[in-house]
Each structure stands twice: as structure tokens, then as C-alpha cells.
Amino acid sequence: MALNSYFLQGADSEQRLVQDLINEQLRTFGVEVTYIPRKFVNRQTVIEEVQTSKFDDNFQLEVYVNNYEGYGGQADIMTKFGMSIVRDELSVTISKERFEDFIGAFLVALPDEEVIVDSRPKEGDLIFFPLGGRLFEIKFVEHEDPFYQLGNTYVYQLKCELFEYENEVIDTSIEEIDEIVEDEGFITTLKVTGAGTTAAATAVLSQPSGYIRELRLLQDGSGYTATPTVAISTTGNAAGQDASAVAITTVRQGVHSIERIVLTDAGSGYTSPPTVTIVGGNGTGATADATIETSLRGVKSLTLTNQGAGYPTPPIVTIAGPGGAGTTATAEAVVNADNILTSLRITDPGQGYTSVPNVVIAAPSTSGVGTFFYNEVVHGQLSGTDARVKDWDETTGTLKISQVGIGTTVAGFYPGETVIGTSSTITGEFAQYVVDEWDNRDIYDEFDSNDEFETEADSLLDFSESNPFGVY
């Protein structure tokens, strides 16, 4: 039978009418939910077995609840594959037009590596259901049910399951949603102190006497674009220990020269002044000489027993005096880019020491800097490890982190290293504290069910005490 010629088949006006009627029905009988699209942060894997994702956008959307299963709570059942969790399931219907106009239009503007599909809802996106305050993950998107003969699809059917958190970044700016997963997942606890730990060192006296009392720079030379080597001869030191020194270069008005020479070891047993030679460093012309002390004892060298941490500038080094006639030894510290001490240099070995003096290195700042923000990335200066902040208690110095090692192959922090934030600032500086200790065991992980598995298994067959089948 021929179709009625008085009606248009598949006209745009009829399609719009159907869409408008569906939109009106959803607004009348639907429930307002929060749609949270999944964004990928890292998909640079060989077979994409590991993906890092985040949820930091939210859109209000009306849905019609088709059906739900197990919404009253989860249940555990035993199957032939082991223990299985019966998860809450939810099936909803949303308007295709509403999604494309109010959500898809924003997703299109995102980078391609963040969003795989932007034209329709995609598996992995989240829906926050206000009735019960639960997060559901979209597991399947049906885009052709129901089928309309007008040649257009007007709705999406979304099959959802209760969301299981796996260290995703959830920062929607809606407190009710963010708090749902704030304490979930694998959380590592860092105990931190102020922005530094104090370095320590001990002194070594010359024994026997006959140490270098002073190194004098006679000519500073020129062209020293690299650090030259300071060679001290062994002349007159048959029974003692050789001295060593380093050159400190400088640049003045474009001329690279040597500023001074500093002892790293004053040596011992010298009966006559040794010869000092400056070689290398691409320069020429620098000369120096040495004077020795043969009757009194001085500080031969300084040994670091603790490199400390949190020293942005070299600290003051104080050496106790000889306690009588004589002169007090002095020294200076050298720090690296990680704000830890690498060495101590003797600027004056002193004289007249009868016992080993105490060495005191000034402490760094003991007050931490700034406040860590939830979800910001923190970086370990020494280990290079990155992690994400889950919670921060400044009073107790407890920093809870997750995703330890994101973007790196390193999965741990070193005690004594400085942990610096990447977005938290106070007076223009990132928050930073020094790691005192860290515990990589996750005792709060609700998805770690090893104990539960063991308990359930023992209720069936308990091998812990004896063979349940008897003794052969």
C-alpha cells in the first residue's frame, strides 16, 4: 500500500518536533545529574595498558532513569572464577540534541590527545547521581535505540555501573563530588619537616705537625674558562699525608682568572714548603706558593657526617678555637643545586690545637614554606619523583600523596630531599618541605582485598593449620 501523500516522510520539521517533544519529556520527568567527561593525561604506552586520566569539568544534564539494579548496595557472590562483586547498575536516557549543544560543543575545543570521542557520550565518562550521592561510570553507549523511521536518532541510552576509583584526578570544583574519592585509592604517607635538615661535620687534626698554614695566590692569570687543577708537590713530606686544594675562578670585565685557592686538606708531615702548580682550565699565568707550620697542630681537614638539606645558600661553618694560645680555624661550605652540602673547604687551618675541635654548621630554615593544594603535583628535587597531593596537614607535617612516580620510572622519595609543589605558591614561592620519612604501604586502600580473599577462602578450605582432606 502506498504511503499517504499528504504527509512528508522524514521532513526536518517533523524531526525537530520529535526532538522537542523528547526534550520536554526529559525536563518534565527526568532527574538533573552532573556529567563529567574523562580526559586523558598520559596515553604514551606501548599497548595502552596504563592510562592516566582526570575529571576536572562538569556539565548539568537532565536524564530519565530507565531502570536500576542493586542500588541499595553491593553484594559479594562466589563464582567459578572466584569472588565477584555485584555492582550497582543504572540505565538512563539523555537527549542527543542537549548533549551535542551543551556538552559536545565544549569537548570539541579540547586537545585531541585529551578526548578520544567528542561527538557523543563515551565509555569511561562519569555521571554523578544526586539521589544517593554516587558516581557512576558509563560502560556502554547505545546510540540507535530506539530506532526511528524518520531517519534520525534523538536519544542516547547509557548503561552505567558504580564508579571504582583507580587514582584518577577528580577535581570538578564541586565539593560534594570531589569528597567522594578524596581518601580512596593507593595513598602514600610522607612525614615532612621544615625546609631543611642541619648538616654535620667533624674535624681532623694534623698528625704529625708540619701542615700547610697558608696558600697564597701570587698571580691570578687569565683565560681560565674552566676550573684548573691545583697540584701540591710531595717535597719535604716523606712521612706525612699530602695536601690538596681547589681553585676558585671568577670573571671581571670579561677576563677569566683565578680569584683564590682554598685548602681541602692541609696535609701533614711537611718539613719544607711544597711547590704549588696551577694547570689546566684553558688558562695561563696563575702562580701560588705555600707556607707551613711545623711546631703547632692545626685542622688538617673536615669530614661531612651529614650533608643536610634545604640550603639554598652556603651556611656558616664555625670551628671551635684551640682553647689557649693560637688561632681559630675557619672554613666554608659548598652546596649544590639540590640544596645539600657537598664539601667543606678550609680557609684557615688555624694553629695551637691540642684536641679535636667541635664543628658547627648553621641550620637551614626550620619553617616550611607554603601550603600544598589538593591534586597538585609535588616534585622530589633529589629523586626526581612526582606524585599527586591527596591531603596535607601542616600541623603534623603529614603529606598524603598518590600516583607516586607519575611521568617517571622512579617510584619513591629519598629521606632528606626537598619536596616542592608545582602550583601552590605563597609570596611567589612554591610550597616546599623536606622528607623526614615515607611509608609506601597503603593501609587505607579499600580496594586492597587480600585479607578479605583469604578470609573467604579459609571459610571454604582452610590450609593454614592442616590439610583439610586429611593426612596421607
DSSP SS3 for 89: strand
Beta strands in 43-119 (DSSP E): 52-55, 59-69, 75-79, 82-86, 89-95
CB 282 within 8 A of CB 169: no
CB 377 within 8 A of CB 171: no
Q: Which of 381, 199, 217 is nearest to 288 (CA)?
A: 217
Strand pairing report for 59-69 and 244-252: unpaired
In which element (H, E) is residue 330 found?
strand 330-335
Q: Which of 340, 388, 350 is nearest to 200 (CA)?
A: 340
Which residue type, as a one-letter code, is found at position 291?
T
Q: What is the pLDDT of residue 50?
A: 47
Phi, psi of 454, deg, nearest 5: -65, -40
Mind listing the pLDDT tens digit of every residue in the chain (472 residues)? 566 766 666 667 777 888 888 889 888 898 999 999 988 766 555 555 545 678 888 999 999 998 877 655 555 555 555 555 556 788 999 998 899 888 888 888 887 767 776 778 989 899 998 887 888 999 999 877 766 666 667 889 999 988 887 767 787 888 888 777 766 666 677 877 776 678 999 999 988 788 999 999 999 999 999 999 999 988 666 677 889 999 999 998 889 999 999 999 999 888 889 999 999 999 999 999 999 998 899 999 999 999 887 787 899 999 999 987 889 999 999 998 777 899 999 999 999 999 999 999 998 866 677 788 877 888 888 888 888 887 788 777 788 887 777 766 566 788 778 888 887 665 567 888 888 776 655 444 444 555 566 667 667 766 565 666 666 6
Cell 555485584 belongs to which residue? 86
CB 431 within 8 A of CB 405: no
At CB < 8 A and 24+ separation, what contacts does 322-330 make?
322/350, 322/351, 322/352, 322/353, 322/354, 322/357, 323/354, 323/355, 324/352, 324/354, 325/352, 326/296, 326/350, 326/351, 326/352, 326/353, 327/351, 327/352, 329/203, 329/298, 329/299, 329/353, 329/357
Q: What is the pLDDT of residue 177?
A: 85
CB 189 within 8 A of CB 396: no
Cα gap 237→233, rounded to integer Å: 9
Neighbours of 450 (CB within 10 A): 7
**CA distances from residue 350 to 113, 169, 193, 265, 323 in whole angstroms, order as listed:** 65, 59, 36, 13, 12
CB 384 within 8 A of CB 404: no
Q: In whole angstroms, how large is the CA radius of gyration of the chain?
A: 36
The DSSP string of 340-397 is: -EEEEEEEE--B--SSPPPEEE-----S-BS-PPTT-EEEETTT--EEEEEEEETTTT
Q: Is the pTM of this model over 0.75?
A: no
Q: What is the pLDDT of residue 257?
A: 94
Is residue 352 left, alpha or beta, with left meaning phi > 0 and alpha meaning psi from -120 to 50? left
Cα gap 460→79, rounded to integer Å: 13
The gap from C-alpha 183 to its chain's centroid, in whole angstroms, comes to: 18
